[in-house]
C-alpha cells in the first residue's frame, strides 16, 4: 500500500491516512477529491477493515461505479465489490428492502419516479375537483418534496399551522389534504417515491432503536461525497449512523454548493466542526485541471462570498490564455459568435467537438445557440432532455414489469390495463377505481375478483379482465425463477407491445420499436453482468447466477440525470445548464448569457445567501474549463416576446481585469451615406466603463455629446428595428431615453446609452 500512497500529494495522503474519528476534507475544484475517496477506501481495506463495514455515499451511480472500478484496480475485486457504495437513494432502498415490514411495507415495494408521482398527483387533483391551473402537479409535488426533505410527514404537515397558513396565503389551501391522500395512495400501492426512501429510512432508524444499533455496528466507517449538497434528511441519517463511533469522513467544497433549490443546505458543511468539535480538517488546494489564468480568475470571484471556508486554490499548470469576453448585439448574434468561435478553434487547434461545452443559466437559452451550431454543421447534444427511460414506449413496458413485481402498483396498472387495447375501457376502469376507494382496497384486488365486488360487468368484459389478470399472474410467478432478460422478453411479446409497435411503420413507430429493442439489450447486458450493481448486496453463490427483473427495476428506478447516457454519444459539442455541468470538465468552455437578471438570476437579488449561491454557480462554471474559457453576453435579449435592454453581469466586474481579454472592435466599414455613429468606441478599457457606473463593453455610447444630439424629429437607424424618427426625449446623461417610431415595428422606448443608434443625415 505504501507504493499506492506515494502517488498522492502530501495533503491527499494525510486525508487518506486519517481513518479514525471525524474528518472533513475541503476539496477545491479539480483537486483530486474522487482520488482521495477512492484511496481512502482502499487504505481501509488494506488496514484489514471488513468491506461490509464500509459505507460510501455518493450523489450519482456513475460516481459510485467509477470509484468502485478504481478500488478494484488498487486492491482487487474480492474486497471492493462488497463495500456498501452507492447513492443515498440506492443504499437506503437496499436497507428498506430488508426492514420494510417494520413500517408496514412489503419487501417488493415499487419506487415511483418523478413522472409516476406527477401522474398520481394529477389524478388526486382531478378527484378532489381542484383547479388544475392553481394546483399544478409540479407545484404540489415540489411542496410535498420540500416537506419530506425537512422531515415533515403528511400528519405533521396538517398539524403545522404555519405551513397551512402559507398555503392559504398562496391561494392553495388544499395542499395538506393532497399530501395526505398522496401518501395514502402510495402506501396502498406498496410504493415509495424518491423522498420516501430517505424519510422512511430516517423514521426507521428513529423509531426502532434495535435497527439503528444494527446499522451503526454494520457501518463502522462512513464516507460522504459532495457533503455540501446534502439536505436535512440526508444530514440527519448520516448523523444517526455515525453517532456510535464517529468514524465519519465528509468530502466536499462549500464553494460548489449550488443545489439549495433541491433542499441542499450549505450549513451542513460549514458547521461540521460544530457537530464534531474534535474533527480533523484537511484542505486540498492544488488544482490539477485548469490553467493558472482560470484558477486565479475563479479565486478573484469566490472571495466575494462571506459564508465560506477560506482556501487559496493554486495550480502548477501552464499560465494559459486570458478569459475571453464576447459581446453581442443580441441573443441571436451571441449564438453566432459562439458558434463561429468554436468553428475557428476546431480548425486552428484540430480539436474534436466533444472538447467543447456551452453552459447557460437556463435551458431556454439553448435555442439561438442550437440554430447557430446547425448553420455551421457542428453536431451537439443537450444534457437534461428527455432521458431514454422517460420515453412513452419505455415507460409502458417498464409498467408491465413493475406490475408483475408488485401487483398493487396502481400507476403501473392504470398505464397498462388497456394498452395495447384489450377492451377494458375508461368506463370500466373508472368503476373499478370508485369501488376500490369505497371498499378501501386496491384496484388489483377488484380486477382479480370482479364477481366478489358486484360490478355488474357483462361476460365479455369479465373475460377480458380475467385474461389480463391471468397474464400478469403468470408473469409474477416467474419473477424469481427467470432471469431479467428472459422474463422481460416474454412480457414484451405476450403483452402485445412488440406487435403493436412493429405494425406501426411510420418513422416514429420504427423509432419506438427500436427503443424497445434497446431496452431489451440493456436488460440482456444487466443479466449477464458478473456481479449485481445494487450497492451492498450480499448474495450466496446460487443467487449470484441469476439477475432477476425486480433487481433490474430497482437499478433503473434510481438512475440520476448524470447517469443517463445519450443514445448517440459520438463526437458532439455538449450543451447544458451550469447545474448539470457540475463534476464535468472540458478543454474549451463557453459560459453564455452573462447578464444582470439572467446570471445572476433576478430571483437571487433579494438576499445575500441567494446571491452568494449564484456566485458559487458562476465559480462552478469557471472551473469546468481546462484550457480556454469564454464569457459572452448580449446587449439585447427577447424575453416573453419583448426586446429587453441588457446590462452585463456583475460577476464579470468581479473578475480581476488582468485575467480578462477584452474584445477590440474592428475598424468600421465606411458607409456610402455619411452618418454620425454613436457606437464605435476605441479599444475597450474596463476602467472607462467603471466611470459610467456600468459594465457596457464595446458598442455602447460613450460620448455624452452624441447622446445629446438625439432630439425629437431626428431620423435614426437601429440594427434590429431599422429606420425611424425620434418622437420624444426624456432624462439626462446616462439616464436619457428616447421614444422612437420605427416604420417596421412601431414605437419603442430606448435607453440611449445602450441603444446603438445611428443618426442619419
Catalytic residues: 33-34, 225-226, 256, 624
My answer on whether omega of the bond before 600 falls inside 30° of 0, hence cis, is: yes
Q: Estimate the share of the chain in helix, then strand, then coil, as percent rounded to the nearest 5.
A: 50, 15, 35
Residue-wise DSSP of 636-659: EEEETTEEEE--B-HHHHHS-GGG
Instruction: Round to whole Å and give the CA distance between 272 and 97.
Output: 31
Specify the 3-state DSSP secondary structure of 399.
Answer: helix
Q: Which of 126, 128, 119, 138 is nearest to 173 (CA)?
A: 128
**What DSSP element (H or E) covers 714?**
none
CA torsion 313-318-320-323 (nearest 10°) is: -10
Which residue(s) pair with 636 in the sheet? 330, 645
Which residue(s) pair with 738 in the sheet? 729, 750
Q: Is the dihedral of CA 452, 457, 463, 468 positive or negative?
A: negative
Specify the 3-state DSSP secondary structure of 700.
Answer: strand
Instruction: Round to whole Å and give the CA distance between 46 and 50.
Output: 10
Using CA atoms, how far residue 508 sits from 383, 393, 497, 502, in Å, is 22, 11, 15, 11
Which residue(s) pair with 597 in the sheet? 601
Instruction: Round to whole Å and give the CA distance between 692 and 506.
Output: 60
Pairing of strands 191-193, 221-224: unpaired
Specify the 3-state DSSP secondary structure of 761.
Answer: coil
Residue pair 54/83 in contact (Cβ under 8 Å)? The answer is yes
Q: Which of 706, 408, 385 is nearest to 577 (CA)?
A: 385
Q: Which of 622, 634, 631 is nearest to 301 (CA)?
A: 622
Residue pair 758/699 in contact (Cβ under 8 Å)? The answer is no
Instruction: Round to whole Å and give the CA distance between 577 and 700.
Output: 29
Instruction: Round to whole Å and give the CA distance between 292 and 626.
Output: 10
Pairing of strands 110-112, 248-252: unpaired
**What DSSP element (H or E) covers 760?**
strand 757-760
CA torsion 511-512-513-518 (nearest 10°) is: 90
Residue pair 264/230 in contact (Cβ under 8 Å)? The answer is yes
Show the cell assigned to 90.
Answer: 440506492
Helix 10-17 vs helix 33-46: crossing angle, to nearest 10: 40
Residue pair 388/518 in contact (Cβ under 8 Å)? The answer is yes
**Cβ partners under 8 Å of residue 646, min gap 6:** 595, 596, 597, 598, 633, 634, 635, 636, 637, 754
Instruction: Round to whole Å and give the CA distance between 678 and 670.
Output: 14
Instruction: Round to whole Å and give the CA distance between 685 and 683.
Output: 7
Q: Which of 651, 658, 603, 610 is nearest to 631 (CA)?
A: 651
Helix 194-207 vs helix 137-149: crossing angle, to nearest 10: 30
Amino acid at each position: 500500500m505504501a507504493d499506492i500512497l506515494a502517488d498522492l500529494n502530501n495533503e491527499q495522503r494525510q486525508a487518506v491516512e486519517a481513518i479514525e474519528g471525524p474528518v472533513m476534507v475541503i476539496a477545491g475544484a479539480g483537486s483530486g477529491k474522487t482520488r482521495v475517496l477512492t484511496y481512502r477506501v482502499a487504505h481501509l481495506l488494506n488496514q484489514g477493515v471488513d468491506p461490509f463495514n464500509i459505507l460510501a455515499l455518493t450523489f450519482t451511480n456513475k460516481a459510485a461505479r467509477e470509484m468502485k472500478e478504481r478500488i478494484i484496480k488498487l486492491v482487487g475485486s474480492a474486497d471492493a465489490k462488497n463495500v456498501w457504495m452507492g447513492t443515498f437513494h440506492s443504499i437506503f432502498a437496499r436497507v428498506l428492502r430488508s426492514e420494510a415490514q417494520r413500517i408496514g411495507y412489503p419487501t417488493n415495494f415499487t419506487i415511483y419516479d418523478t413522472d409516476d408521482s406527477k401522474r398520481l398527483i394529477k389524478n388526486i387533483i382531478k378527484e378532489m375537483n381542484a383547479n388544475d391551473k392553481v394546483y399544478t402537479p409540479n407545484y404540489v409535488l415540489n411542496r410535498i418534496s420540500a416537506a419530506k426533505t425537512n422531515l415533515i410527514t403528511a400528519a405533521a404537515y396538517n398539524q403545522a399551522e404555519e405551513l397551512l397558513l402559507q398555503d392559504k396565503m398562496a391561494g392553495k389551501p388544499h395542499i395538506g389534504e393532497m399530501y395526505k391522500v398522496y401518501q395514502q395512495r402510495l402506501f396502498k400501492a406498496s410504493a415509495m417515491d424518491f423522498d420516501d426512501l430517505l424519510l422512511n429510512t430516517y423514521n426507521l432508524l428513529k423509531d426502532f432503536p434495535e435497527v439503528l444499533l444494527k446499522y451503526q455496528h454494520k457501518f463502522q466507517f462512513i464516507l460522504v461525497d459532495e457533503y455540501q449538497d446534502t439536505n436535512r434528511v440526508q444530514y440527519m441519517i448520516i448523523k444517526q449512523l455515525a453517532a456510535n463511533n464517529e468514524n465519519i469522513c465528509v468530502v466536499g467544497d462549500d464553494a460548489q454548493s449550488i443545489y439549495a433549490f433541491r433542499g441542499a443546505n450549505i450549513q451542513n458543511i460549514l458547521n461540521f466542526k460544530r457537530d464534531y468539535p474534535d474533527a480533523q480538517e484537511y484542505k486540498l488546494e492544488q488544482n490539477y485541471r485548469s490553467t493558472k489564468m482560470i484558477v486565479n480568475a475563479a479565486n478573484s470571484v469566490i472571495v466575494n462570498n462571506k459564508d465560506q471556508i477560506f482556501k487559496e486554490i493554486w495550480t502548477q499548470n501552464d499560465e494559459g490564455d486570458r478569459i475571453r469576453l464576447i459581446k453581442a448585439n443580441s441573443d441571436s448574434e451571441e449564438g453566432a459568435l459562439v458558434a463561429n468561435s468554436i468553428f475557428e478553434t476546431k480548425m486552428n487547434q484540430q480539436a474534436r467537438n466533444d472538447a467543447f461545452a456551452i453552459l447557460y443559466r437556463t435551458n431556454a437559452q439553448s435555442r439561438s445557440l442550437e440554430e447557430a451550431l446547425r448553420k455551421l454543421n457542428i453536431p451537439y447534444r443537450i444534457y437534461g432532455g428527455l432521458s431514454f427511460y422517460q420515453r412513452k414506449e419505455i415507460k409502458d413496458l417498464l409498467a408491465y414489469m413493475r406490475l408483475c413485481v408488485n401487483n398493487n402498483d396502481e400507476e403501473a396498472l392504470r398505464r397498462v390495463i388497456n394498452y395495447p387495447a384489450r377492451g377494458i375501457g375508461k368506463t370500466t376502469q373508472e368503476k373499478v377505481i370508485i369501488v376500490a376507494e369505497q371498499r378501501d382496497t386496491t384496484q388489483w384486488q377488484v380486477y382479480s375478483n370482479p364477481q366478489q365486488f358486484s360490478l355488474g360487468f357483462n361476460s365479455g368484459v369479465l373475460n377480458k379482465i380475467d385474461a389480463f389478470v391471468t397474464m400478469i399472474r403468470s408473469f409474477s410467478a416467474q419473477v424469481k425463477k427467470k432471469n431479467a432478460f428472459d422474463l422481460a422478453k416474454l412480457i414484451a411479446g405476450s403483452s402485445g407491445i412488440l406487435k403493436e409497435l412493429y405494425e406501426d411503420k411510420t418513422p416514429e413507430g420504427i423509432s419506438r420499436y427500436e427503443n424497445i429493442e434497446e431496452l431489451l439489450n440493456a436488460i440482456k447486458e444487466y443479466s449477464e453482468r458478473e456481479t449485481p450493481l445494487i450497492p451492498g448486496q450480499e448474495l450466496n453463490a446460487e443467487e449470484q447466477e441469476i439477475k432477476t427483473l425486480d433487481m433490474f427495476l430497482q437499478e433503473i428506478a434510481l438512475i440520476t440525470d448524470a447517469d443517463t447516457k445519450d443514445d448517440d454519444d459520438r463526437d458532439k459539442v455538449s450543451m447544458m445548464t451550469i447545474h448539470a455541468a457540475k463534476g464535468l470538465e472540458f478543454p474549451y468552455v463557453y459560459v453564455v448569457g452573462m447578464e444582470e437578471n439572467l446570471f445572476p438570476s433576478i430571483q437571487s437579488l433579494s438576499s445575500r445567501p441567494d446571491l452568494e449561491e449564484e456566485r458559487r454557480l458562476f465559480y462552478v462554471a469557471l472551473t469546468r474549463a481546462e484550457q480556454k474559457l469564454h464569457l459572452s453576453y448580449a446587449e439585447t435579449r427577447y424575453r416573453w416576446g419583448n426586446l429587453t435592454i441588457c446590462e452585463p453581469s456583475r460577476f464579470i466586474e468581479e473578475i480581476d481585469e488582468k485575467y480578462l481579454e477584452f474584445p477590440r472592435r474592428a475598424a468600421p466599414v465606411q458607409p456610402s451615406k455619411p452618418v454620425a455613429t454613436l457606437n464605435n468606441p476605441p479599444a475597450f478599457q474596463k476602467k472607462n466603463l467603471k466611470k459610467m457606473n456600468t459594465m457596457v463593453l464595446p458598442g455602447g455610447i460613450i460620448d455624452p455629446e452624441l447622446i445629446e444630439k438625439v432630439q425629437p424629429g431626428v431620423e435614426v437607424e437601429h440594427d434590429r428595428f431599422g429606420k425611424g424618427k425620434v418622437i420624444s426625449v426624456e432624462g439626462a446623461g446616462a439616464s436619457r431615453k428616447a421614444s422612437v417610431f420605427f416604420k417596421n415595428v412601431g414605437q419603442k422606448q430606448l435607453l440611449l446609452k445602450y441603444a446603438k443608434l445611428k443618426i442619419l443625415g
